[in-house]
Amino acid sequence: MPTDTSPKRYPEMQGKVALITGGSSGIGLATAQAFAREGATLVIASRNQKRAKQALASLPDGSASWVECDVADGKSVERLISGIVKQHGRIDYAFNNGGSGGRGAPVGTLGEDAWRKTIDGYLTSAFLCMRYQIPAMQKDGRGVIVNNSSVDGLRGYPFPGGAAYAAAKHGVIGLTKSAALEYAREGIRITAICPGWVGTPPVESSMKKSADIATAIIAQTPIGRVATPQEIAEGVLWLCSDASSFMLGSPLVLDGGYMS
């Protein structure tokens, strides 16, 4: 893909190093593309090499590299961060977006393994990423971390079977706020984003399969549509930019009115 020559919204991002986990599709890929537009050097981390190759092909030539990583595995995350620091010397921005979970079920029938897989996939993964990103950023006394929570981190899950996911996303907000306070005076800003319904591949697939689900999703969103991944990416970029220099700990809610 040719180099993007469009005007830069955040010129301070030129040449900075940005890590996006779960960067091969959906919100992660849209965020990688937005960072690339600003001239950042990208590292996308994910588990699927085929999707990663497709993602890299959509980014400006030479702007990005891919590292295989399971963000729920501490050793895998440690290798990811140490490799970035070794190659690029620093990490300026990190969007902790990657995550996966177990099969959902109502609490009274939810299996323990499914619970742990969901908590590890969405909450422990955020902790592990921050655990290794923060020391890397401390060396330079600067950096921004954005964790991907959800409106379901602010309320109960609207359909049966999502309690573990909501619990994990509530945990991401508590983790974010606490870590933000711990490192506020060290030049490291930590915050979160809480998207509502977004047109990612899984959501679009569910809406196509079931008209009832599609109707329920739209009914929960006063604006009358789901967000595009690009709209969420713009929020992440703003949180990372100097324009949000006073934004700390509190999550940015982008939900089309869902929580209003």
Considering the four listed CATH numbers 3.40.50.300, 2.40.160.20, 3.40.30.10, 3.40.50.720, the one that applies to the domain covering 11-200+228-254 is 3.40.50.720
Query: Is the per-residue pLDDT at 1 higher than 60?
Result: no
43 three-class SS? strand
Please state, in angstroms and as integers, the Cα–Cα distance from residue 225 to each residue in 8, 60, 204, following that order: 28, 30, 12
Q: Confirm if 126 and 145 have CB atoms less than 8 A apart.
A: no
pLDDT in tens, 70-112: 999 999 999 999 999 999 999 999 999 999 998 999 999 999 9
pLDDT of residue 201: 87
* Residues forming the active site: 165
Compute the distance between CA of residue 34 and CA of residue 231 in angstroms, rounded to an integer.
10
User: What confidence tier does 3 reach under pLDDT thresholds 50, 70, 90?
Assistant: low
User: What confidence tier does 6 reach under pLDDT thresholds 50, 70, 90?
Assistant: low
Please state, in angstroms and as integers, the Cα–Cα distance from residue 217 to each residue in 41, 107, 133, 166, 257, following that order: 36, 22, 35, 16, 12
pLDDT of residue 62: 86
DSSP conformation class of 259:
T
Q: Average of pLDDT values for 27-47?
A: 96
Q: Confirm if 239 and 193 have CB atoms less than 8 A apart.
A: yes
What count of other Cβ atoms lies within 10 Å of the Cβ of residue 112?
Answer: 8
Residue linked to tokens 């679009």: 204
Q: What are the residue ranges spanned by the domains of the chain?
A: 11-200+228-254
pTM as predicted: 0.94
Residue linked to tokens 């990657």: 98
190 three-class SS? strand
